[in-house]
Amino acid sequence: MLDVLRKNSRNAIIYVLFGVIIAVFVINFGPGSRTDDGGGFDYAVKVSGSPISEMEYRYAYIAMGYGNEPAQFSRQLRRREFVMDRIIERELRAQEADRLGFEVSKKQIEQMVEDGRMYIFGNRVKVEEFAKDGVFDYERFSKFCQNRLGVTVKRFIEQQQRELMADEVKQLVLGATKVTPDEVKSDYDQKNLQVNLEYVRFAKQLGDDAAPTAAEVEAWKKTHEAEVQKIFETRSYLYKKVDKHARLRQILVTAAKGAPEAEVAAAKVKIDDAKKKIDGGQDFAEIAKQVSDDAHTKGRGGDGGWRKKGFTGLGTVLDEKVFTAKEATIIGPERTDRGFELVKVEGFREGDLTIAQVGTEIAEELLRTESGKVKARADAEAAAAKVKGGAKLEELFPKLSDTGETTDPAKGKAAAGGAHLEETGLFARRGDIIPELGIAPELAKRAFDLKVGELVGPFDVGGGVVVARLKERKEPDGEYFEKHKEEELRKAAKEKGAEVLSAWTQKRCIEVRDDGRIKVNENVLSYDGTPAKPGESRYEACQVSQPRSMLE
């Protein structure tokens, strides 16, 4: 065979391109760049006694495109382990070819080289470079094998024979895998059926206007002590060495800078009136609900929560007054950039906080979450009932424009919980994924069986509860399928064959591994040049998944 290559080295009929791997090997395995992994091994792995050299392993790693990746990135993706599995799989298939009596003759290798082809661990590459003045040059080929690959021409040819042996098994499996037209049509229909859903999502979070009362929080806390304690322990790091915070309750009457004098005067009268009522004994929180213009705190009785100095949002002057005041002090009215503000300092805390100090706010958070879920489902069920009773979804809820605003402001105000009508757009099956909604297993299961106009739900989806209606259904193109049936049959057979081959290889790999016939030099799997340390995750053959694309 070598004589044939030498004789043909002056003929223009052979074009062998190794450019794909020359560049990386010039950098990684050029003269002076070869290293010894040490450890007393002369192999990277042995599969049933058949050794694969360290250089072959390096060659595979670079050829797979991983040579220039940062070590940490490669470690996270377990690149070295993946390549080791690929090498083992190739050898298992080649050994199966031996068992079945397959042979790869030298003539086949000659023909492959003459056609300008070679295999790199299961992948056939077409090459057009490795010729001098358009003519194959044996001397350059020989030097390339020795200087770049670190193998002799003989070893390179033997390796290519193993590659072709493994490919014989692959082709046997692919050729033996059959699919029926009915199978393929059913699969085609599933993949190409598209639906478009209209949906309304009800958030599982109470709005600021639906805050539980202090009495409700305390009652809930008493019956859920274990849950509160668990959250406190989980977040314990948040309650250590806490800077000084103030618990604030506030009332804002808007009067922006530069507002007309009449508007400012009216705001001043309003805030002064609120202050008189509070001084007269009325509850600050109730007055806040009636008077305040602050949308975030109004529904919560002006409760602004715990604030750190400099982060009150009240401006420098008022912020300073807050942190020099005593507990239960009411500050203001004060003129700020927003308008006129009254602030009640309900308390201070700092240092290591106890559950007695934070238990109530934890309980309120949990109660709000629980109540939010209940309310969201109730709103969703009510909406579904109205639609089933004859109402139209688009009349109950506004639809958002491209700018994120409701197309009908009047409907927007009437929409329960700020819910609005949205649309997924046409989409095909993607497992449990639905565009715009994300992971929604129950809805994904129902979506493709719906009739146009049919409503389903409620479904729990992420942070909300959803009701959905099928707006549009696009059936698969049957005419296209009939026109391309043979192509679809071939594609389906190839995909099924790849799955069968992958399953057989995985099963065989585990059998050989468990029988102790896979011996790995773990030094070659090191990402930093040192063996695995005690406690580090060690390699186990047959564990790194193989993408289908590697089989094609």
Pairwise CA distance, residues 272 & 280, whole Å: 12
Residues 152, 56: contact at Cβ < 8 Å? Answer: no
* CATH number for the domain whose boundaries are 208-366: 3.10.50.40
Pairwise CA distance, residues 344 & 284, whole Å: 8
- pLDDT tens over the chain, length 552 residues: 445 444 444 443 333 333 333 333 333 333 333 333 334 457 899 999 989 888 888 877 877 778 788 888 888 888 888 889 988 999 999 999 999 999 888 888 877 777 767 787 777 776 556 666 767 777 777 777 777 666 777 877 888 888 889 988 888 888 888 888 888 888 888 888 889 999 999 987 766 556 777 888 899 999 999 999 999 999 889 999 999 999 999 999 998 888 888 999 999 999 999 999 999 999 998 999 999 998 888 888 888 889 999 898 888 889 899 999 999 899 989 898 889 999 999 999 999 999 999 999 899 889 888 888 888 899 999 999 998 888 888 888 888 665 455 555 444 444 444 788 999 999 988 888 889 888 999 999 999 999 999 999 899 988 889 999 999 998 888 888 888 888 888 888 888 888 888 889 989 999 999 999 999 988 888 887 665 555 455 788 887 554 443 434
pLDDT for res 531: 57
Distance of CA 156 to the CA centre of its chain: 41
Distance of CA 410 to the CA centre of its chain: 38
- Among residues 74, 34, 57, the alpha carbon closest in space to that of 527 is found at 74
pLDDT for res 207: 62
E strands present in 4-116:
45-47, 50-52
- Among residues 160, 151, 56, 175, the alpha carbon closest in space to that of 108 is found at 160
Pairwise CA distance, residues 90 & 98, whole Å: 13
pLDDT for res 257: 84
Q: Provide the sign of the torsion angle of the four alpha carbons 143, 148, 151, 156, taken in this order.
A: negative
pLDDT for res 273: 93
Name the burial class of residue 495, with classes exposed (0-12), middle (13-18) and buried (19+) by CB atoms within 10 angstroms of its CB: middle
pLDDT for res 493: 84
Pairwise CA distance, residues 73 & 75, whole Å: 5
pLDDT for res 530: 60
Residues 267, 290: contact at Cβ < 8 Å? Answer: no
What is the CB neighbour count within 10 angstroms for residue 346?
16
pLDDT for res 400: 67
pLDDT for res 40: 45
Pairwise CA distance, residues 219 & 190, whole Å: 52
pLDDT for res 130: 62
Residues 52, 60: contact at Cβ < 8 Å? Answer: no
Instruction: Output the CA angle 419-424-429, nearest 5 degrees.
Output: 135
Helix (H) or strand (E) holding 253: strand 242-254
Q: Which CATH number fits domain 194-206+371-474: 3.40.50.300, 3.10.50.40, 3.20.10.10, 3.10.105.10?
A: 3.10.50.40
Q: Which residues pair with 202 in a beta bridge?
A: 465
Instruction: Output the CA angle 322-324-325, nearest 5 degrees.
Output: 65
> Which three-class secondary structure string do you get for 422-471?
EECCCECCCCCEECCCEECHHHHHHHCCCCCCCEEEEEEECCEEEEEEEE
**Is the omega angle on the peptide bond into residue 333 within 30 degrees of 0, that is, cis?**
yes
Residues 406, 422: contact at Cβ < 8 Å? Answer: no
Residues 474, 495: contact at Cβ < 8 Å? Answer: no
Start-end of CATH 3.10.50.40 domains in the chain: 194-206+371-474, 208-366
| 469 to 277, 391, 452, 464: CA distances (angstroms) | 51, 13, 8, 16
